[in-house]
Amino acid sequence: MVLKRAVFACLLFYVSGFTVSAFAGSRADTVPVVRKAVHTVADSSAVLHGSPGYEPEDFIPLTDVLHVKKDSAVTAADSVPETAGKKKKGDRNFKFSILGGPGYTPDYGFLIGGAALLSFSADKKDTALQRSVIPVNFGLTFSKPLGFYILVKPQIFFRKDRIRLFGTYEYKNNNDNYYGVGYDDNHNTQRGKYITGFRQNTLHLNPVLMFRLRESRCFLGAAVDYIYEDITSPGEFILNDPVYLSQGGTADGFKHHNVGVGGVFSFDTRDVAANPYNGVFLDLKLLYYSKYLGGDFNYGSFNLDYRQYHKLSRTHRRVLAWNVLVKSTFQDVPFTQYAIVGGPYDLRGYYQGQYRDKSTAVAMLEYRQMWDAGTETKLRRLLSRLGYVLWGGCGVAGPNPVCYNAVLPNLGVGLRVEVQPRMNFRVDAGYSFADRQMLFYFNMTEAF
């Protein structure tokens, strides 16, 4: 029944969804945009000139593709005279896209939600600087009482890409679940509002500022992490959980805030950070949270994120991508901040936060392809905006980095809709072999 509801919700989401390209200009406007995102044609992941299929220079906003006079046979060349006048009004730097409507998420159930994407260049005169992106996911959940969440993960590039401002900004006021710590509790505990459920009011602010090291592809910087959590209405399982009780949790709930600071090292050769076709990305982050900084706990965390991308064709958008994620926590870690597996950005198919322990590791392999149908007709241009992905992966969790007691295999398939050049809206369906379930996700930009 859950699967049927999820499939129905996916269809309903698409039927009622909408796209707004409020600042998307004409075909001519998009040419410098694409070139900003690509350093050179030879070493980029963009489709080469002369491709028999889709070409970046023929990118037309989705609204222009869908809203065309019925009696006109529009081609990419035909669209230039019709929209050339827009160019004279100024080169619009900011581009905004949004998709929304009724939907479903595995963690929050049925909701009214959306995904928005704002992209821009921090320096319009720098044609080699890739566009900055600010993806936003938000939703109003139909839980009792009603809930709300918003997640923002910006990637902003300054001064010839010598300075980067990344981060995660999140607010949640909704229902969630806690399944304990360790595989036995995580796997065997029945999910339910009055068993594993609780109400949360959470604020998470995590800005990351990095500076390029000379002329290398390496970046060094600092991160600040602020976490405030107010948990109320804990379920029966939570009230009997030894970790929850040992950290001061009561029948009334659990409240804490923590502040962490640390260092970040990054190595990045990706052509376009929001949707790479080629390159390597390595990110190392070490944070320490202390009572001396005003927090309630003393603990630390280490994160390793390795990604690599390989374009399989010179004339088509086919990419093989793989990702390895490692997270370890140590000392007196709040139970809500343990390392977790699952969610929209790693093993899609596992409930976010269901599997948690002091250390986790995830490996994923993903095949991505966009359809290169050409630009001769409206239908061909529309099909060229669509694509799909296939992925497989496995995660492990355990009490320390060398001892894992949970093995979590995963497979999935996804649909892609290109709402801006090289920037996709995604719908993913992931299958959990450990729990024998399929979950669905709606997000802007790729999972990794």
Q: What is the pLDDT of residues 271-291, one digit of tens each?
A: 988 899 999 999 999 999 999
More confident residue, 38 or 406: 406
**Mean pLDDT on 353-357:** 93
CB atoms within 10 A of CB 50: 7
Bridge partners (DSSP) of residue 258 are 227
Tokens of 110: 């049925």
pLDDT at position 423 is 85
Rounded Cα gap, residues 245 and 254, in angstroms: 9
Residue in 211, 224, 311, 206 with CA at minimum distance from that of residue 268: 211
Per-residue pLDDT at 319 exceeds 80 = yes
Tokens of 22: 């409020």
Say which CATH number the domain at 403 has.
Answer: 2.40.160.50
pLDDT at position 316 is 86
Task: Count structural domains, the chain.
Answer: 1
pLDDT at position 105 is 66
Question: What average pLDDT does the chain have?
Answer: 82
Question: Where in the sequence is the domain holding 134, given as residue range(s)?
Answer: 2-444
Three-state secondary structure call for residue 16: helix
- Summarize pLDDT for 110-156 with one digit per residue, the tens: 778 888 989 999 998 888 898 999 999 898 988 778 899 999 999 99
Rounded Cα gap, residues 53 and 244, in angstroms: 56
Bridge partners (DSSP) of residue 163 are 158, 211
Rounded Cα gap, residues 346 and 48, in angstroms: 31
48: which DSSP letter? Answer: P
Residue in 416, 408, 360, 424 with CA at minimum distance from that of residue 390: 416
Three-state secondary structure call for residue 55: coil
pLDDT at position 229 is 97
Per-residue pLDDT at 40 exceeds 90 = no
Rounded Cα gap, residues 186 and 381, in angstroms: 46
DSSP characters for 388-436?
EEEEEEEEEEESBTTB--EEEEEEEEEEEEEEETTEEEEEEEEEETTTT
- Specify the length of the chain in residues: 448
